[in-house]
Structure 1
Amino acid sequence: MQLRHLASRGLEGSTPAGRAPLAAAHPPATSAPLRPPAPFPAPGPDAGLILSSIGELAYHWDIGPDRLSWGPNRRETLGLVADADIDLGHAYGELVAPESALSRYDAVMQSTQRDEGAGVPYQIVYGLAAPRHLGPAPIVWVEDTGRWFAGEDGKPAYAHGVLRVVTERHEAERRAALGAQIDSLTGLLNRAQFAEHLDSALQRSEASRKPFAVLLVALENLFALNRTYGYDAGDEVIAGLARRLRENVRATDVVARHAGNKFALLLDACDTEETLSAAHRLIGVVKDAPFETSAGPIPATIRIGGVIAPREGRSPQALFRHAEEALDVARQGAGKRFVAYSASLARQDARLRALRVADNIVSALSDKRVELAFQPIVDAATGGVAFHEALLRVRLPDGASISPATLLPVAEKAGLVQLLDQRVMELALERLAAEADLRVSVNCSMATLLDAEWPERLAQAAAANPALKDRLIVEITETAMIEDFEATRSRIAACKRLGVKVAMDDFGAGHTSFRNLRDLAFDIVKIDGAFIRNIATSEDDRFFVKTLIDLANHLSLKVVAEWVEDDATARILRAWGVDYLQGAFFGCAETRPPADGRARV
């Protein structure tokens, strides 16, 4: 998050446009010092030598003229950063690294505390990046401990403190966080980490003009394997496949667990022919020898979809999508086990794949392979799980899952989405009946919403156990609501009569008017995650999300923020008064919610 110490609009204590009120710096546990004279006296040579030896640097910030005074050891402490213009507060603020969650500006100018005469303590950690014209240099991470003192108007007038270099500690914490993002079964990177490697590879490829390949490897018939040998043996095969893939690629290549029975591989400096050769070699090494498990040797086979970057995709998302499309083709029959993506392949196969997806939906409904995955939605204040969103999962006969992005557009065009909605509701009600402490939200498509008989079916489904309705939330997308306002109002009213709560999903995507939002009497609004995920870096998104929250609060609606993926975003949203948080930072969708209801906070 790019945070600057001083706003260009002045130093009157007002928050710069788009800046989140994040003055939540932790005060250091030190006694209050006496108010120092101004200007701040620089330490003597001996003091500078001592401070340098322990990686610390004293400073004084005179906020009115925006002047920064430093101890004599700033070059020894900050290295190349000290050669930049750091004698003014706003210039120093320009050096705060985007990865930083807070800055000195946040701690001082946005503090909610008052100076009662002894100053107000603060302690924050942020990174400093030297300007590019000074040459390459790593980010210097510092712990900034100090106090600010108020002027006659009660607003910060000056501050002083000490910077302590904590780069090694920060790197250790970063490595520990990385360890938490490793797949526990296979020891491989997870999909999010793999996407970061993809992003870096794309940047390198742009500079070197060398292509690289992305492969998606799918273990075949996992569903049948689990059913025949048991889930423990299935996990052993997955772990064994991970080892075999890792052992048969180069040290410069990257292997990750993509999802379930799928693995993602990044083959560095690899063209089309080399990719084809590598894929066939991997198919062979998996097929040639069974995997040793506690249930005995188990043979396995794989299918692979591949894409060459950057020719066939210039973003991690595009590469994942194209590799998935190629893998879908590879899985369609007894033909090629490896398929390389091409634009012509995608065009020719789109219609056939849509028909196959529709067939898979029908067979999954018949064979009871429609399942639910539950993603936790946590209370922003306590961190405890408030309820779960029930997410649709459709399994193929081999145990693989059809991605919702592929499934739902086809289901809507084929007229199958109402059948899926009905099955999802049935499964959700079954789980509610089985687990007395569970609360669940269920999505409702536009086709279902416009069905005049849907309220009656919902009433009949809940009639068997009236207590269920108090723990059920129906989610309606904002864009669907706008298509037929009166029908939406009628269905919401029907849910209310049953005692079922109603949430507006993707709030902000359809730009609902104030009047419509008020008249529809929702209980909850869920802010579209497309606006949430960038609030740490985008002033426009911060302004828009804050406006949505204020509007919802004015109407006494509970607010859920979707796609919360890091602590910095969560802290911003808590400060703005969001009621609930949902996203990968608090837990991914699982087929069974944790019994203890724990969530990451």
Structure 2
Amino acid sequence: MQLRHIANRAQETRVASGHSSPLPLTSLSSLPAAPPPAPAPIPPLLGPDPRLILPSIGEVVYEWDIGTDRLTWGPNLFETFGEVAQGEFGMGYAYGERVSRESVATRYGAVMQSAETDAGQGVPFQVVYGLTRPRELGPGPVVWVEDTGRWFAGDDGRPAHAHGVVRIVTERHEAERKLALGAQIDPLTGVLNRAQLAEQLARFLAASERSRKPFAALLVAVENLFALNRTYGYDAGDDVIAGLARRLRENIRACDAIGRYAGNKFAILLENCGTEEMQAASQRLIDTVGLTAFETSAGPIPAMIRVGGVIGPREGRDPQVLFQHAEEALDVARQGAGKRFVAYTASLAREDARLRALQVADSIVSALTERRVELAFQPIVHARSGAIAFHEALLRVRLPDGTAASPGALLPVAEKAGLVCLLDQRVMELALERLVAEPELRVSVNCALHTVLDPEWPDRLAAAVAANPGVADRLIVEITETAMIEDFDTTRALIAACKRLGVKVAMDDFGAGHTSFRNLRDLAFDIVKIDGAFIRNIATSEDDRFFVRTLIDLASHLSLKVVAEWVEDEATAQILRDWGVEYLQGAHFGSAAARPAGAALR
């Protein structure tokens, strides 16, 4: 094949795959037995020397004759890949043997197993995989590459030859792997997060259906965590939670699973476990935890746990149902001085839980009717100047005696009772009233999952904005990652509706573990708010620093403004400033108050 034709083919491949920059090339050669000699001078008409350009950006072109299985590489192969390119590298089968076992895809699979048909222009492909050096050189690091190319069919319609560009992406791959790992693990405790717990429980259910053997799901809660936090401080409370995670993990089997369910609650899944085994295992955990105090920053602190358990799939064939039943059992275990472990039965806690939920739902309805739903405003400041950029409007419900109810206790019931949309609507009304009253104010408002998925909500927002001229460009709607995963298309439509009104949109809890890079890119967010659970320890945790820095770089690449939540000290604030975060939010800059602090600046 002529040299210029190969170069043009490589350029076509990059254009078809979104890589539009020119790809200078002077020659292709069959793989030599040893590193090639110095190439001949580059003809001026082909521009800069590719021997300098391609290695500098970690790229090498190739041609693959599928009929003969021969791979022909560009002259910068050894310069680019080093020892990975040593040994047999000129045949497709040999190249395939060098693909790392960690890879989930290969060039062979992308080409030979393609469902596409070549209509004469070739079929583009792009795949990422790892390459290892020859076995005789011993173990070495995996070099991760992105293979972008195009295959062409022969007379029989099957792939006959392919060409493309292989680019080193090891650094990017490691960053994405770390990000994916962080999306599965709770940063404080090092155990699975809630999303991964649900996936694990689904796997346990599927395995149990096949084996016909039961399993147990336990919910474990620290007793009197509020009192611990009040007495010893929140840092010591976190130390107890982290220590409990370690102790629980050390006392379960390798086949079992543990994750952080919420706050001070952990979920444990016990494989091949019936009622009697569940009770014995729970009592052993209770005794083990209570035996020794936890080492904390405030000194040794004793702590006890309570446990609720359920047997699957007997008491539920759905993860949500099983967790709900385990919560009901735990609620009974936490009442009074009764048993520390309670196993779920169909009638155990249902009536009690139903009555308590009805009481909370009634209090929410009363608060809405009697205008006892209020807002508190927490400032969000410019990272560089410290001047207030905008405020987040936070829900507060005033009880008849004048005290404030905890949103954490109300919102789960409001969601189950279908009242959360009414609360969100009232919060939006109050926020718009304040925006009208204070022309310099800018406010962000949270929207719950049920509100985001309500098909009538965009129309209500449009009507509210139209009734209050001049507020749209000072309003920010916050949507959680959970809403995106629940219904991507509805979320995208809602964002588009907000944009048409001139309302900005922020993604809340960024990094909590759901959003893919592609989804984030495809949705027109203006702002991302990094989940505070990752922020609060960056001054002391190298892993959290790496994870947060990766999130910031990703947001910057997509031209998104970043808010860092839960900034509680100047050391954390300075790290975030140095990394280019635009906005900071947290106790270090002010707590939530009934009135916005100062005049918000644009």
Kindly report which structure 2 residues correspond to 1:44-63, keeping only aligned pairs within 5 A, or say none: none
For the 8 Å contact 1:222–1:400, the answer to whether it is kept is no
Distance 2:66 2:183 in 1: 44
> Does residue 258 of the first structure (1) align with residue 264 of the second (2)?
no
The alpha-carbon deviation at position 255 of structure 1 amounts to: 2.5
For the 8 Å contact 1:26–1:124, the answer to whether it is kept is no
Kindly report which structure 2 residues correspond to 1:230-309, keeping only aligned pairs within 5 A, or say none: 230-309=233-312
3-state SS in 1 of match to 2:191: coil
> Does residue 311 of the first structure (1) align with residue 314 of the second (2)?
yes
The alpha-carbon deviation at position 214 of structure 1 amounts to: 1.4
Distance 2:487 2:146 in 1: 26
3-state SS in 1 of match to 2:322: helix
**C-alpha distance 374-276 of structure 1, shift in aligned 2 (>3 A):** farther
The alpha-carbon deviation at position 264 of structure 1 amounts to: 1.6
The alpha-carbon deviation at position 171 of structure 1 amounts to: 9.1
> 1:404 aligned to 399, 411, 426, which one?
411
Cross-structure match for 1:467: 440
The alpha-carbon deviation at position 176 of structure 1 amounts to: 7.6
Structure 2: which 5+ residue stretches go unaligned? Answer: 1-11, 29-60, 132-141, 153-159, 381-388, 532-550, 556-561, 584-602
> 1:496 aligned to 459, 463, 469, which one?
469
For the 8 Å contact 2:63–2:72, the answer to whether it is kept is no
In the TM superposition, what whole-angstrom CA distance separates every residue of 1:393-435 from its partner, at most 9, and x where no partner exists? Answer: 999999994373334445949xxx98xx5xxxxxxxxxxxxxx
Structure 1: which 5+ residue stretches go unaligned? Answer: 1-12, 14-20, 59-69, 96-103, 111-121, 129-139, 151-156, 377-385, 422-442, 506-525, 536-540
Distance 1:22 1:552 in 2: 33
Cross-structure match for 1:213: 216
The alpha-carbon deviation at position 273 of structure 1 amounts to: 1.4
Cross-structure match for 1:160: 163
Kindly report which structure 2 residues correspond to 1:414-429, keeping only aligned pairs within 5 A, or say none: none
Cross-structure match for 2:534: none
> 2:425 aligned to 430, 444, 460, which one?
444
Kindly report which structure 2 residues correspond to 1:61-100, keeping only aligned pairs within 5 A, or say none: 71=92, 73=94, 76=97, 92-93=113-114
3-state SS in 2 of match to 1:256: strand
In the TM superposition, what whole-angstrom CA distance separates every residue of 1:54-77 from its partner, at most 9, and x where no partner exists? Answer: 69877xxxxxxxxxxx84547745
3-state SS in 1 of match to 2:189: coil
Distance 2:501 2:472 in 1: 20
**C-alpha distance 559-229 of structure 1, shift in aligned 2 (>3 A):** closer
For the 8 Å contact 1:191–1:257, the answer to whether it is kept is yes
The alpha-carbon deviation at position 217 of structure 1 amounts to: 1.0
3-state SS in 2 of match to 1:237: helix
Cross-structure match for 2:181: 178
The alpha-carbon deviation at position 269 of structure 1 amounts to: 1.5
Distance 2:248 2:260 in 1: 11
The alpha-carbon deviation at position 271 of structure 1 amounts to: 0.9
Distance 2:322 2:582 in 1: 31
Distance 2:481 2:106 in 1: 40
Distance 1:55 1:599 in 2: 50
For the 8 Å contact 1:564–1:583, the answer to whether it is kept is yes
The alpha-carbon deviation at position 127 of structure 1 amounts to: 9.4
Distance 2:324 2:337 in 1: 23
**C-alpha distance 262-31 of structure 1, shift in aligned 2 (>3 A):** farther
Give the TM-score taking structure 1 as reference length.
0.55
For the 8 Å contact 1:305–1:339, the answer to whether it is kept is yes
Kindly report which structure 2 residues correspond to 1:314-353, keeping only aligned pairs within 5 A, or say none: 314-345=317-348, 347-353=350-356
Distance 1:462 1:239 in 2: 46
Distance 1:89 1:285 in 2: 52
Cross-structure match for 2:539: none
The alpha-carbon deviation at position 278 of structure 1 amounts to: 1.7
Distance 2:176 2:16 in 1: 22
For the 8 Å contact 2:396–2:407, the answer to whether it is kept is no
The alpha-carbon deviation at position 552 of structure 1 amounts to: 7.0
Q: Which amino acid aligns with 1:405?
A: P
- Shifted more, 321-330 versus 290-299: the winner is 290-299
For the 8 Å contact 1:372–1:393, the answer to whether it is kept is yes
> Does residue 202 of the first structure (1) align with residue 223 of the second (2)?
no
Q: Which amino acid aligns with 1:348?
A: E
Q: Which structure's relative contact order is higher, taking Cα pairs within 8 Å and 6+ residues apart? A: 1
Q: Which amino acid aligns with 2:412?
A: A
Cross-structure match for 2:53: none
Distance 2:563 2:410 in 1: 15
Instruction: Tell me the C-alpha RMSD between the 2 structures.
Output: 6.2
> Does residue 569 of the first structure (1) align with residue 516 of the second (2)?
yes
Distance 2:326 2:214 in 1: 15
3-state SS in 1 of match to 2:315: coil
Distance 1:237 1:352 in 2: 33
> 1:193 aligned to 174, 196, 206, which one?
196
Cross-structure match for 1:134: none
For the 8 Å contact 1:374–1:389, the answer to whether it is kept is yes
Distance 2:114 2:397 in 1: 50
In the TM superposition, what whole-angstrom CA distance separates every residue of 1:288-329 from its partner, at most 9, and x where no partner exists? Answer: 443344534433222222222222333433333332233233
Distance 2:376 2:260 in 1: 21
3-state SS in 2 of match to 1:291: coil
- Shifted more, 350-359 versus 304-313: the winner is 350-359
For the 8 Å contact 2:458–2:497, the answer to whether it is kept is no
Distance 1:545 1:197 in 2: 27
**C-alpha distance 500-41 of structure 1, shift in aligned 2 (>3 A):** closer
Kindly report which structure 2 residues correspond to 1:505-520, keeping only aligned pairs within 5 A, or say none: none
